Amino acid sequence: MIDLNRVDAIRHLPIAPDEKGFGGPAHLSPVTAAALVAQRTVVHGGWLGSPRVHLRQEALNNNLDVMARFCADAGVTLYPHGKTTMSPQILVEQLERGARGVTVATAQQARVFRRFGVRDVLIANQVTDPGGITWLGRELTEHPESSITCYVDSISGVQLLTEQLSAAGFTGRLAVLVELGHENGRTGARTGDEAVRIAEAVGRSSRLSLIGVAGYEGSLTAPTAELTLDAARVFCDRLGDLAGALLAGGHFDAVPMVTAGGSAYFDVVVAALAGNPAWRVVLRSGCYATHDHGLYRSISAFERTGSVPGLVPALEVWAPVLSRPESRTAVVGAGRRDLSFDAGLPVPLRGRTAAGEPVDLGTAVVRQLFDQHAILTIPGSLDLAPGDEVGLGISHPCTTFDKWRWIPVLDEGETVVDVVRTFF
């Protein structure tokens, strides 16, 4: 499923003092993640810099275990979305807990995980660029034991893949899924009839093989949370109807894959689609691994259903206080270059004085984010000065991970137990 030796080799790569998040006073020359772990480096032991990001090991393990149990109990397969972390080290943990492959969004991301020997890769997207299509053909020719799948949502897309795979010398068949979309959504055929016509085009292709149907319910929006859930249920029913129609039409040579399920409404997907022996359900959730303090904390299935145990935020960014220009304002040295801001502003968690004493931030909130600065509104009585640090929770982990190349993992004693590498 994945080459453990290649993944372990990441821990022996040099981390230079100018690497973001590192470069503390003790970090004078390159060091490896393995060395930091071996010497039991603590977060304030002089190796890490500020701003820095880190993962909480206990929370991360909890989240991986919770989702593994959910999928096992529901009888569904998990292909976690690798674009969230782009970390082979985290993917190893997901695979060891029962995940059967990895989801990616682009051919480039697929290439990263194939480099680490991941056999089963689902590209949850169309591949229409010549480089990506050529790579698919070459990779499947050189590694016929691998399973790489992508989406199609138009007859012209089917023709493009067929023609360019043939031009690249590929003589096999690329496995594809017909994607069903929705109005004002992203990609995907807008109607079931259109999706059937695309499936028929795949059947006529000399280079493609239809293995299932796909959709994404996470882009649906409605005026209220309950109406959004209703829309997700309706969409999943449509996806099941499409799978049933294609089965009845003889479009599949084997039990098809039906895949949906982002990190928000995967429970709706399971309720609508799981348990049917005519197909196998594949969830693609990715953000569950670290959860967050904003978007997913408010809409996660485990939060909505009150499941215990649920998911726990695992990702934090810590940054120094740069200035206290007004009694109710603190300027912190982390911004859009360091933190997500596409789905809500960061959430102040707690502080720490330069001497190491904890600071209760009270009602502090981030009111504005610049490239390298977060502007906090804080209680006027709060004793927070330049050189102190503030820990910030994030909303939408995907767009925080892509801002850091090395991310320390800390145990409950603030000791570094791993340093994960991202490959964006």
> With helix as H, strand as E and coil as C, how does 20-79 read?
CCECCCCCCCCEEHHHHHHCCCECCCCCECCCEEEEEHHHHHHHHHHHHHHHHHHCCEEC
The 8-class DSSP code of residue 306 comes to T
Are the CB atoms for 176 and 153 separated by under 8 Å?
Answer: no
Torsion angles phi and psi, residue 327, rounded to 5: -60, -30
Residues 6+ apart with CB under 8 A from 208: 152, 158, 161, 162, 165, 173, 174, 175, 176, 202
Average pLDDT of the residues in 268-272 = 96
pLDDT over threshold 80, residue 307 = no
Residues 6+ apart with CB under 8 A from 376: 329, 330, 331, 332, 348, 364, 365, 366, 367, 390
Rounded to two decimals, the pTM is 0.96
- 343 vs 363: CA distance, rounded Å: 21
Helix (H, G, I), strand (E, B) or coil at 420: strand
The CA-atom distances, in angstroms, between 198 and each of 213, 272, 325, 385, 392 are 11, 24, 61, 62, 46
pLDDT over threshold 90, residue 302 = no
Cβ burial of 210 (10 Å; 0-12, 13-18, 19+) is buried
Residue 159's nearest CA partner among 197, 185, 121, 125 is 197
- 328 vs 232: CA distance, rounded Å: 42
- 295 vs 344: CA distance, rounded Å: 7
Average pLDDT of the residues in 52-63 = 98
Helix (H, G, I), strand (E, B) or coil at 179: strand
Confidence of residue 273 (pLDDT cuts 50, 70, 90): very high
Per-residue pLDDT tens for 374-391? 999 999 999 999 999 999
- 420 vs 252: CA distance, rounded Å: 40
Dihedral through CA 78, CA 103, CA 150, CA 239, nearest 10?
40
Cβ burial of 38 (10 Å; 0-12, 13-18, 19+) is exposed
pLDDT over threshold 70, residue 308 = no
Average pLDDT of the residues in 79-84 = 98
Average pLDDT of the residues in 193-219 = 97
Average pLDDT of the residues in 65-83 = 97
The pLDDT mean for the chain works out to 97
pLDDT recorded at residue 328: 97
- 262 vs 5: CA distance, rounded Å: 30
- 322 vs 373: CA distance, rounded Å: 9
308 or 397, which is more confident? Answer: 397
pLDDT recorded at residue 300: 86
pLDDT recorded at residue 30: 98
pLDDT recorded at residue 280: 98
Domains of the chain: 4-56+312-421 (2.40.37.20), 58-295 (3.20.20.10)
Are the CB atoms for 406 and 421 separated by under 8 Å?
Answer: yes
Per-residue pLDDT tens for 217-245? 999 999 998 999 999 999 999 999 999 99
Average pLDDT of the residues in 103-117 = 98
pLDDT over threshold 90, residue 356 = yes
